[in-house]
Amino acid sequence: MSTAPLTSPSLSEQPGRRLSLVRRPAPAPRRAVGALPLTVGAELGVPTVHRTVVDFGNLDHAATTPALTAVAEAVSTVQRRYGSVHRGAGYTSRLTTDWFEQARTEVGAFVGARPDDEVVFTRNTTDSLRLLAHALPQDAEVIVFESAHHAALLPWPAEATLRLPVPTSALDAQSLLERALREGPAGKPRLVVVTGACNVTGDIWPVAELAAIARRHGARTVLDAAQLAPHRPVDIDALGIDWVALSGHKMYAPYGAGALVGRSDWLEAAAPYLPAGGATHTVSHRHTRWQQGPARHEGGTPNAVGAIALASACASLSAHRDAVEAHEAELLAALREGLAAVPGVRVHHVLGPAADGVGVATFTVEGYEPSLVSQVLADEYGLAVRDGRFCAHLLCETLFDGDGTAVRASIGLATTREHVERLVRGVRGLVEHGPSSAYEYTVDGWVAQDDPRDLSEPRPW
């Protein structure tokens, strides 16, 4: 682990002073220039309970990602020229409108949108799937696996939703869907909700195969690509799906934008998602005429900055796809192999250990609560992981013993080989020697006793 002793006179001469977050000069690039898109925040050093400062080890990409430097630069550019989109005659409004609509084209291209598909900008994947739920035909039936993230599990009408049990393999998932569609009511619209990559374990689902089963039975498919799109290509036509939903904050564009991309007919037939300015064509005393196309569901002033940030991320990921996949494959292999070699550690899967997966390793440590494991890794090793049920409670109840929680380490472009090695070393150290500090469980979670750090910072405004 790369550590730097705290030798500043103001600290060494005042040993009782609490330590705070440190921003050091940006380190030299850890990889060949141009090989991978770089992320904001590489200069961040974090203090540990051992009175050292270490490089922040980001293994929490499945929750949210830092911005790419290219995305941050795009945001900086648009903010200097920002104006409200559509209908403005001023220079900044016209320019921002042009960029906003070009962003729509870029995002559509990123997921292989067909010529007649719509790209509707939303807040995130949750918002995108809620929009599609809003647009469901009145008599539609929805089929979703209980292993889905809550964003994909919960927005549908309860009385018209069939939940399939957590499958044990890719073939089991296909068999469960085939049976449900064959035995279900025919002659009505049906929507199958498919996860691209499991947010709990990283397992990649057989999307094309499930979509083909749906088509054979006259059903449509929506893909939750929140965890898949940052790591692997998504192509609507090649996969045979009807819609795809994704989030910017999972794709190195954490500026509050996502998208729903796909067929227009259900969207055009539905009432506006946000009935307000922008969604209206004309309003009279007797009648309101609504817009057609994406504007129909983008009422109010849209998040143009977020949409442009998302488009920038799509362009960067597309341009560096091979390098991104190679980087993540190397780190994921090291992460899973390293954890599997530690006695008492179990790495979990939904579709089996042989299933292909994105950069996630979710594990439990015998004898330790997951919440304590993640806190020890944060306090003693400067690592960010996540513990809990990961907004997939039904899946976690199936996978994990005890209280149904686990620790999730998720890699991405801000993760280095040293971070992975530090994590494995930290877990092994915990198993072999226990925590180096005494921890007490409080209403705020586990707290290290005699913690010398002050983790507060001035507000950024």
The DSSP code for 365 is: E
Nearest to 345 by CA among 420, 424, 287: 424
| Angle at which helices 207-216 and 170-183 cross, to 10° | 20
Catalytic positions:
391
The H-or-E segment that residue 364 falls in is strand 360-365
**Domain limits, the chain:** 3-66+321-448, 81-319
pTM reported for the whole predicted model: 0.92
The phi and psi torsions of 257 (rounded to 5 degrees) equal -130, 145
For 65, 198, 331, 421, 458, the CA distances from 415, given in Å and listed in that order, are: 11, 20, 8, 11, 27
Q: What is the pLDDT of residue 351?
A: 97
Nearest-Å Rg of the Cα atoms of the chain is 24
28 pLDDT above the threshold of 70: no
Which alpha helices (DSSP H) does 303-392 contain, by range?
A: 304-319, 321-340, 370-381
Among 59, 57, 1, 153, CA closest to 407: 59
Give how far Cα 418 sits from Cα of 98, 99, 137, 377, 414, Å: 43, 39, 51, 14, 11
pLDDT digits (tens, 9 = 90+) for 90-101: 999 999 999 999
Fold for the domain defined by 3-66+321-448: Aspartate Aminotransferase, domain 1 (3.90.1150)
Q: Which residues contact 95 (CB under 8 A, 6 or more apart)?
A: 81, 83
**Cα–chain-centroid distance for residue 343?**
30
Query: What are the φ/ψ torsions at residue 309 (nearest 5 degrees)?
Result: -60, -45
CATH code that applies to domain 81-319: 3.40.640.10
- In percent, the amount of the chain with pLDDT more than 90 equals 90
The torsion angles phi and psi of 95, rounded to 5 degrees, stand at -65, -45
Q: Over pLDDT 70: what percentage of the chain?
A: 93
Q: Are 360 and 201 in contact (CB under 8 A)?
A: yes
3-state secondary structure of 129: helix
Whole-angstrom distance, CA of residue 105 vs CA of residue 51: 50
- Mean pLDDT on 348-362: 96
Q: At what angle do helices 370-381 and 417-433 cross, to 10 degrees?
A: 120
pLDDT at 29: 38
As a whole number of angstroms, the distance between CA 282 and CA 288 comes to 6
Band (2; pLDDT cuts 50, 70, 90)? very low
Residues 272/56, Cβ–Cβ less than 8 Å: no
**Which pLDDT value is given to residue 186?**
81
Answer for the pair 385, 409: CB distance below 8 angstroms, yes or no.
yes
pLDDT at 21 over 90: no
Average per-residue pLDDT for the chain: 92
Residue 24 has pLDDT above 90, yes or no: no
